[in-house]
A and B are shown apart, each in its own frame.
Chain A
Amino acid sequence: GNSVTQMEGPVTLSEEAFLTINCTYTATGYPSLFWYVQYPGEGLQLLLKATKADDKGSNKGFEATYRKETTSFHLEKGSVQVSDSAVYFCALRTGFQKLVFGTGTRLLVSP
Chain B
Amino acid sequence: DTEVTQTPKHLVMGMTNKKSLKCEQHMGHRAMYWYKQKAKKPPELMFVYSYEKLSINESVPSRFSPECPNSSLLNLHLHALQPEDSALYLCASISTGGNTEAFFGQGTRLTVV
Chain A interface residues (CB < 8 Å from chain B): 30-32, 34, 36, 41-46, 49, 51, 89, 93-96, 98-99, 101-104, 106
Q: How far is the CA of A7 from the CA of B37 in the complex (A)?
A: 19
Distance in angstroms between the alpha carbons of A77 and B54 in the assembled complex: 40
**How many residue-residue contacts, CB under 8 A, span A and B?**
57
5 additional A-B pairs beyond A43-B90, A104-B41, A106-B40, beta carbons within 8 Å, are: A44-B43, A89-B43, A96-B50, A98-B45, A102-B42
Closest B residue to A99 using CB positions: B102
Q: Report which B residues bind A (CB closer than 8 A).
A: 6, 31, 33, 40-43, 45, 48, 50, 56, 88, 90, 92, 94, 96, 98-107, 109
A103: chain B residues at CB < 8 Å are: 41-42
Q: How far is the CB of A24 from chain B (nearest CB, A)?
A: 16
Residue in A31, A45, A101, A106 whose CB lies within 8 Å of B99: A31
Instruction: Name the distance in Å between B111's Cβ and chain A's nearest Cβ.
Output: 14
* Interface contact B99-A93, CB-CB below 8 Å: yes
List of 3 A-B pairs having minimum Cβ-Cβ separation, nearest first? A32-B99, A101-B42, A44-B104
For B42, B96, B98, B109, which residue has the most chain A Cβ atoms within 10 angstroms?
B42
Contact B106 A43 (CB under 8 A): yes
The answer on a CB contact under 8 Å between A43 and B102 is: no
Closest to A46 in B: B101
9 contacts between A and B (CB under 8 A): A42-B107, A44-B43, A93-B99, A96-B31, A96-B50, A98-B33, A99-B94, A99-B102, A101-B42
